[in-house]
Structure 1
Amino acid sequence: METIGAIFVWLFFGLIVGLLGRLLVPGRQPMGWLGTVALGVVGSFAGGFLTYIFRGGEPLQAAGMLMSILGAIIVLAIYISMAPRRI
Protein backbone atom coordinates (compact mmCIF):
# COMPACT_ATOMS: atom_id res chain seq x y z
CA MET A 1 0.00 0.00 0.00
CA GLU A 2 2.94 2.29 0.68
CA THR A 3 4.15 1.98 -2.93
CA ILE A 4 0.79 3.07 -4.35
CA GLY A 5 0.83 6.17 -2.15
CA ALA A 6 4.34 7.02 -3.33
CA ILE A 7 3.26 6.68 -6.96
CA PHE A 8 0.36 9.09 -6.41
CA VAL A 9 2.70 11.57 -4.68
CA TRP A 10 5.08 11.39 -7.67
CA LEU A 11 2.22 11.90 -10.12
CA PHE A 12 0.89 14.89 -8.18
CA PHE A 13 4.38 16.38 -7.82
CA GLY A 14 4.98 15.80 -11.53
CA LEU A 15 1.73 17.54 -12.40
CA ILE A 16 2.57 20.60 -10.29
CA VAL A 17 6.15 20.84 -11.59
CA GLY A 18 5.02 20.25 -15.18
CA LEU A 19 2.34 22.95 -14.93
CA LEU A 20 4.81 25.44 -13.46
CA GLY A 21 7.39 24.59 -16.12
CA ARG A 22 4.82 25.07 -18.89
CA LEU A 23 3.70 28.34 -17.30
CA LEU A 24 7.24 29.74 -17.30
CA VAL A 25 8.06 28.80 -20.92
CA PRO A 26 6.45 31.20 -23.40
CA GLY A 27 4.56 29.92 -26.42
CA ARG A 28 2.29 27.01 -27.08
CA GLN A 29 3.26 23.55 -25.82
CA PRO A 30 1.33 20.80 -27.60
CA MET A 31 0.89 18.27 -24.78
CA GLY A 32 -1.94 17.02 -22.61
CA TRP A 33 -2.21 16.14 -18.94
CA LEU A 34 -0.15 12.96 -19.17
CA GLY A 35 2.57 14.82 -21.07
CA THR A 36 2.57 17.49 -18.37
CA VAL A 37 2.94 14.89 -15.62
CA ALA A 38 5.74 13.17 -17.57
CA LEU A 39 7.41 16.55 -18.08
CA GLY A 40 7.34 17.18 -14.33
CA VAL A 41 8.73 13.77 -13.40
CA VAL A 42 11.45 13.86 -16.08
CA GLY A 43 12.20 17.47 -15.12
CA SER A 44 12.66 16.40 -11.52
CA PHE A 45 15.26 13.83 -12.51
CA ALA A 46 16.92 16.33 -14.88
CA GLY A 47 17.12 18.80 -11.99
CA GLY A 48 18.57 16.04 -9.81
CA PHE A 49 21.19 15.34 -12.45
CA LEU A 50 22.09 19.05 -12.58
CA THR A 51 22.44 19.00 -8.80
CA TYR A 52 24.73 15.96 -9.14
CA ILE A 53 26.91 17.80 -11.69
CA PHE A 54 27.34 20.89 -9.53
CA ARG A 55 27.24 19.52 -5.98
CA GLY A 56 27.84 15.78 -6.14
CA GLY A 57 25.75 13.03 -4.61
CA GLU A 58 23.78 10.42 -6.54
CA PRO A 59 23.60 10.80 -10.35
CA LEU A 60 20.03 9.47 -10.63
CA GLN A 61 18.03 11.27 -7.97
CA ALA A 62 14.97 13.45 -7.77
CA ALA A 63 15.49 17.11 -7.02
CA GLY A 64 13.70 19.63 -4.84
CA MET A 65 10.97 21.88 -6.18
CA LEU A 66 13.18 24.64 -7.64
CA MET A 67 15.62 22.34 -9.41
CA SER A 68 12.70 20.22 -10.64
CA ILE A 69 11.09 23.29 -12.22
CA LEU A 70 14.43 24.28 -13.79
CA GLY A 71 14.81 20.74 -15.11
CA ALA A 72 11.25 20.82 -16.50
CA ILE A 73 11.99 24.11 -18.28
CA ILE A 74 15.12 22.63 -19.85
CA VAL A 75 13.32 19.42 -20.88
CA LEU A 76 10.41 21.43 -22.31
CA ALA A 77 12.77 23.68 -24.30
CA ILE A 78 14.44 20.59 -25.78
CA TYR A 79 11.05 19.05 -26.54
CA ILE A 80 9.81 22.21 -28.30
CA SER A 81 13.00 22.50 -30.36
CA MET A 82 12.74 18.87 -31.50
CA ALA A 83 8.98 18.79 -32.15
CA PRO A 84 7.98 18.91 -35.82
CA ARG A 85 6.66 22.28 -36.97
CA ARG A 86 3.02 22.49 -38.04
CA ILE A 87 1.99 24.76 -40.84
Structure 2
Amino acid sequence: MGERKVTVAAEVGLHARPAATFVKRAMQAPMDISVGKVHGGSPVNGKSILAILALDVRQGETIVISADGEGSEEILDELATIAGTP
Protein backbone atom coordinates (compact mmCIF):
# COMPACT_ATOMS: atom_id res chain seq x y z
CA MET A 1 0.00 0.00 0.00
CA GLY A 2 1.37 3.39 -0.98
CA GLU A 3 0.87 6.55 0.96
CA ARG A 4 1.79 10.21 0.94
CA LYS A 5 1.98 12.59 3.88
CA VAL A 6 0.92 16.04 2.76
CA THR A 7 0.72 19.40 4.50
CA VAL A 8 -2.40 21.14 3.24
CA ALA A 9 -1.47 24.45 1.61
CA ALA A 10 -4.81 26.02 0.61
CA GLU A 11 -6.03 28.87 2.81
CA VAL A 12 -9.43 27.17 3.07
CA GLY A 13 -7.85 23.83 3.96
CA LEU A 14 -9.21 20.74 2.24
CA HIS A 15 -12.65 22.30 1.81
CA ALA A 16 -14.79 23.62 -1.04
CA ARG A 17 -12.88 23.78 -4.33
CA PRO A 18 -9.71 21.90 -3.24
CA ALA A 19 -11.84 19.05 -1.85
CA ALA A 20 -13.96 18.90 -5.01
CA THR A 21 -10.86 18.79 -7.22
CA PHE A 22 -9.32 16.10 -5.00
CA VAL A 23 -12.44 13.91 -5.06
CA LYS A 24 -12.95 14.38 -8.81
CA ARG A 25 -9.44 13.01 -9.46
CA ALA A 26 -9.80 10.25 -6.86
CA MET A 27 -13.05 9.09 -8.49
CA GLN A 28 -11.15 8.42 -11.71
CA ALA A 29 -8.84 5.94 -9.97
CA PRO A 30 -9.74 2.24 -10.10
CA MET A 31 -8.53 1.57 -6.55
CA ASP A 32 -9.78 2.55 -3.08
CA ILE A 33 -8.28 5.75 -1.69
CA SER A 34 -8.32 6.79 1.93
CA VAL A 35 -7.48 10.08 3.62
CA GLY A 36 -6.87 10.75 7.28
CA LYS A 37 -5.33 13.33 9.56
CA VAL A 38 -1.90 12.42 10.86
CA HIS A 39 -2.88 13.49 14.38
CA GLY A 40 -6.21 11.88 15.19
CA GLY A 41 -9.23 10.41 13.57
CA SER A 42 -9.84 7.42 11.36
CA PRO A 43 -9.17 7.49 7.63
CA VAL A 44 -12.15 8.19 5.37
CA ASN A 45 -13.07 7.34 1.80
CA GLY A 46 -11.09 9.67 -0.48
CA LYS A 47 -13.81 9.43 -3.12
CA SER A 48 -16.50 10.91 -0.89
CA ILE A 49 -16.81 14.69 -0.82
CA LEU A 50 -18.86 14.53 2.38
CA ALA A 51 -16.26 12.36 4.11
CA ILE A 52 -13.43 14.68 3.05
CA LEU A 53 -15.32 17.77 4.23
CA ALA A 54 -16.15 16.06 7.54
CA LEU A 55 -12.44 15.62 8.25
CA ASP A 56 -12.28 19.40 8.69
CA VAL A 57 -8.71 19.63 7.44
CA ARG A 58 -7.32 23.14 7.81
CA GLN A 59 -4.37 24.94 6.26
CA GLY A 60 -1.09 23.68 7.72
CA GLU A 61 -2.46 20.34 8.92
CA THR A 62 -0.88 17.13 7.67
CA ILE A 63 -2.90 14.34 6.10
CA VAL A 64 -2.05 10.84 4.92
CA ILE A 65 -3.39 9.74 1.54
CA SER A 66 -3.31 5.97 0.93
CA ALA A 67 -4.01 3.79 -2.10
CA ASP A 68 -3.17 0.27 -3.16
CA GLY A 69 -3.09 -1.18 -6.64
CA GLU A 70 -1.66 -0.73 -10.09
CA GLY A 71 -1.02 2.93 -10.81
CA SER A 72 -1.44 3.98 -7.19
CA GLU A 73 1.91 5.78 -7.00
CA GLU A 74 0.96 8.12 -9.85
CA ILE A 75 -2.48 8.78 -8.39
CA LEU A 76 -0.98 9.47 -4.97
CA ASP A 77 1.47 11.96 -6.50
CA GLU A 78 -1.39 13.78 -8.25
CA LEU A 79 -3.60 13.86 -5.14
CA ALA A 80 -0.67 15.09 -3.02
CA THR A 81 -0.15 17.96 -5.45
CA ILE A 82 -3.85 18.86 -5.31
CA ALA A 83 -3.96 18.77 -1.49
CA GLY A 84 -0.81 20.70 -0.74
CA THR A 85 2.89 20.27 -0.35
CA PRO A 86 4.33 16.76 0.11
Same fold flag (TM > 0.5): no
What's the TM-score once normalised by structure 2's chain length? 0.29
Structure ranking higher on relative contact order (CA contacts 8 Å, 6+ apart): 2
In proportion to residue count, which structure has more helix? 1
In proportion to residue count, which structure has more strand? 2
